[in-house]
Chains A and B, each alone.
Chain A
Amino acid sequence: MTYLGNGQAPLLPSELSAPDGSAPAEQRTAPVIALRQITKTYRLGEVEVQALRGVSLVIERGEFVAIMGASGSGKSTLMNIIGLLDIPSHGRYWLDDVDVRNLDELALSRVRNRKIGFVFQSFNLIPRTTALANVELPLIYAGVKSKERRQRSEAALEQVGMTDRMHHLPNEMSGGQQQRVAVARAIVTNPSLILADEPTGNLDSRSSEDVMAVFADLYAAGRTVVLITHEADIAQYAERVVRVRDGLILSDERMVDATLARPSLGSAP
């Protein structure tokens, strides 16, 4: 039995389209992310905190975007909204041309499963579960059969250079290795968007370089990557940097040197 019900077929590229049955995403020019006047207000006891005050942002397919900001700038809230973990107070959000406002809980979990690959600061691998099983997990929820699941997971692990650690448990791996497994888990469903929240925040500089090299590879392979960070040197890997402060976009610039730097990154060990 699959939890997606109704014998929903395993994930296929042609299915990476909007649930409303519109044409496959590959043939479209629509942006991956389109945010319009997003606001988010929290209530902390008596006080209302405005985390986002009206953010509009468009991210096209194949872009590598770094969202930068100090803590408290609202960048984490923005990331949660983009990742469908949180809902905006106002404003509209189209993910792959689908207005997520109209999705119910089950549809949201399905979109998270198929269109978004998360990479977290604290790796967030499932404990006591091997690297391979962790990578297989999103495919399990997508209803992929076990043989195909295994093949795709092994391929994803190979892509991040973790084939030799496939059967290791998270607590048997270094931080950098865990994060690379987490990246494999994020890409295994072939999502429209890879969303990384401070992926190098818990890593030493050497491991950070390894992990960022993986993201650079993904970008080079045509993936859409959105990276949240407060470190300028990490943001340099991106081709576009969006700076956030006090719940508003402060600047949005394309880094010319990022495209120049990419070949050297691509050849990095």
Chain B
Amino acid sequence: MTWADNIGAALRGLNANKLRSSLTVLGILIGVAAVILLVAVGNGSSQAVQNKIKLLGTNTITIVNRGRFGRGPSTTGTQTQASTITAADVAQLEDPTQAPDILTVSPVITASETADYQAASTSVTVTGTTPTYMGAEDYQLEAGQQITSADVTNHALVVVIGQDLVTNLYEPGTNPIGTDISFGATQFQVVGVLANKGSSSGEDLNDVALVPYTAAEDQLTGYATSFTELIVQATSSKTVNAAENEASDILASDNHTSVADLPFTLINESSLLSTSASTNETFTVLLGAVAAISLLVGGIGIMNIMLVTVTERTREIGIRKAIGAPRGAILGQFLTEAVMLSLLGGIAGVTIGLIGSRFRIVGVKPVVAPTSIIEAFFVAVAIGVFFGFYPANRAASLRPIDALRHE
């Protein structure tokens, strides 16, 4: 008996009960499509997080006074905390002997201001900082130059503006470099323009204007002993955690306290995001598991139908055995039928899964994992073999005389 004979016989058998066969195929179809789709959805949301990590730069730590968590624009420094981040802290953190894993430390003072240029006006978050800030936060210059150390020392009234200011204040085609923008009463000269950075979790990364922190203290926030936050850049993405520990140790000894009682919060962006990425992975595995259960249920459907089929066709099995079908031929015939069901379900499921993953699902753009297609398909076929084997073996083990007597 060749495979062609076998497949022909199996197709005839399935064709004899079209509705029953297609419902069984549907069970496997749903399972396979669910595995592919749900894994794609999980994958899509993980990938969104991964993209966010790339966008933010992975090797920075943000240090803020406790009670202010997050990166939102701050109001002018009304610090009620006794402990503050001071220039002395910055100097210690920058010391390579005390903190070998810290590359740069950028103090940050932020202020919300109204920016005016000629008749145009817009609100903007002004960031007073040092030259290292741009590198730490992964800003690129589009034109002009960045703030220099000399600008910081000289309290120079210069500004590097983000894309939002360019579009909101300037006529298209105007070169902002060399023009003067006023924040409140003070005029700052535009020396550079930042490249477009996109947005992250609803925060517009282009809504920015960088000035020397000394100038910000002089003109915008008034002189304060504390910075709004510090951006600490580690030497590499692998040393972020070491840099975080060094920073907290230094700050703790400066403030004569323990690391646990530190009045600052150290926000390690990359660890936050990798936590969220691993949460996402768990989520993906869970989704896949739920889908796999439906595949399993589909397999039980195959077994159920095959048991019914074997019972219905007991007499046929008896005839076949009487005319000399060996055990293996009967086993092969019914196993082929079961595998055919799962194969059809697998093919249809992959098709439906691929079509479905072209649409946005619960706000996530699904990213199909090729391995999930291959796995789901082969698991479906394996399920056909596994759940088909018992009924097929039952058919093959029937004694011809009993099978022939079956009514």
Contacts and interface: CB of A to CB of B under 8 A. Distances in A.
Interface of A: 1-4, 80, 83, 85-86, 105-106, 109-110, 112-114, 118, 120, 124-129, 137-138, 140-143, 146, 185, 189
Contact of B326 (A106, A137, A146): A106
A3 B320 contact: no
A105 B2 contact: no
Contact of B329 (A3, A120, A126, A127): A3
- In this complex, which of A106, A137, A142 has the most chain B Cβ atoms within 10 angstroms of its Cβ? A137
- Chief secondary structure at chain B's binding surface: helix
A140 B1 contact: yes
15 contacts: A3-B1, A4-B326, A83-B322, A106-B327, A106-B328, A110-B324, A112-B321, A113-B324, A118-B322, A124-B322, A124-B404, A126-B316, A126-B320, A138-B323, A141-B320
A185 B316 CA distance: 15
> In this complex, which of B318, B319, B332 has the most chain A Cβ atoms within 10 angstroms of its Cβ?
B319
A4 B401 CA distance: 22
B228 to A, nearest CB: 77
Contacts of A189: 324
Contact of B324 (A109, A126, A128): A109
Nearest to A138: B323
A112 B401 contact: no
Nearest to B5: A140
Contacts of B346: none
B257 to A, nearest CB: 79
Nearest to B331: A3
B191 to A, nearest CB: 80
A56 B404 CA distance: 26
B322 A112 contact: yes
Contacts of A80: 401
Interface in B286-324: 315-316, 318-324
A109 B1 contact: no
A105 B324 contact: no
Interface in B9-38: 12, 16
Contacts of B1: 1-3, 140-141, 143
B127 to A, nearest CB: 75
B323 A105 contact: no
A54 to B, nearest CB: 21
Contacts of B315: 124
Contacts of A106: 326-328
A48 to B, nearest CB: 18
A110 B326 contact: yes
Contacts of A141: 1, 320, 323-326, 329
Contacts of A110: 324, 326
